[in-house]
Amino acid sequence: MGKITLFGLCFLLVLFSTGCATTTNIFDENIPLENTAELSIGQELTVKYYNGIPVKLKTGFFGNTGFTIPAGPTTLIVDLDTGRLLGSLRYLADNVTITYNFEAGKEYHLTFWFADDEGNVNRSNLRRGSPGILVQQGDFSRYLLKVGFSR
């Protein structure tokens, strides 16, 4: 009986944590989903403005945020705080502008990481490449847009 209870609790914990991992915020519910783009925003980024409009997005249990927006040219103003995400390294930035033309029906990821100037993301080596906020799609090994930082 104890093993069944433990299994049940573990199963519920997994269901709860995956269901709460990302919270979806919809900018305009009147726009058909086929005319929108889905953004998955990393916990280190806080979106403050969408096309000049102030937004307060709800975050999921683990700090990830989903944001469904109308497709097309978009300007986001974000704050960055990596906190303990990178161990002893911490990056902070306020009012970073990200401008991109998001296509309808596609999913994008906004995150902070290190990448080179040719579009390659360096997941295995933290010190390779330069830091930046990345707009990505697909397997996370490449980026579509990088907003870089200088010292």
Q: Per the domain annotation, does 1 fall within a domain?
A: no
User: Is the Cβ–Cβ distance between 44 and 78 less than 8 Å?
Assistant: no
- State how many domains the chain has: 1
Q: Per the domain annotation, does 53 fall within a domain?
A: yes
* Mean pLDDT, rounded, for 2-10: 52
Q: Check whether 66 has a pLDDT greater than 90.
A: yes
Can you give the pTM of this predicted structure? 0.79
Q: Per the domain annotation, does 144 fall within a domain?
A: yes
Contacts of 55 (CB under 8 A, 6+ apart): 25, 27, 47, 48, 49
Share of the chain above pLDDT 70, in %: 76
Q: Per the domain annotation, does 15 fall within a domain?
A: no
> Regarding predicted confidence, which is higher, 106 or 118?
106
The distance of Cα 73 from the centroid of its chain, to the nearest Å, equals 18
Q: Per the domain annotation, does 41 fall within a domain?
A: yes
User: Is the Cβ–Cβ distance between 145 and 135 less than 8 Å?
Assistant: yes
User: Is the Cβ–Cβ distance between 60 and 22 less than 8 Å?
Assistant: yes
Q: Identify the band that residue 12 occupies on the pLDDT scale cut at 50, 70 and 90.
A: very low
Q: Identify the band that residue 3 occupies on the pLDDT scale cut at 50, 70 and 90.
A: low
Average pLDDT, the chain: 81
Q: Check whether 13 has a pLDDT greater than 50.
A: no
Helix (H, G, I), strand (E, B) or coil at 40: strand
Q: Which domain holds residue 68?
A: 22-148
Q: Per the domain annotation, does 9 fall within a domain?
A: no
pLDDT in tens, 87-106: 677 888 999 999 999 999 99
User: Is the Cβ–Cβ distance between 66 and 38 less than 8 Å?
Assistant: yes
Give Cα separations from 74 to 5, 106, 136, 138 (angstroms). Answer: 49, 14, 15, 20
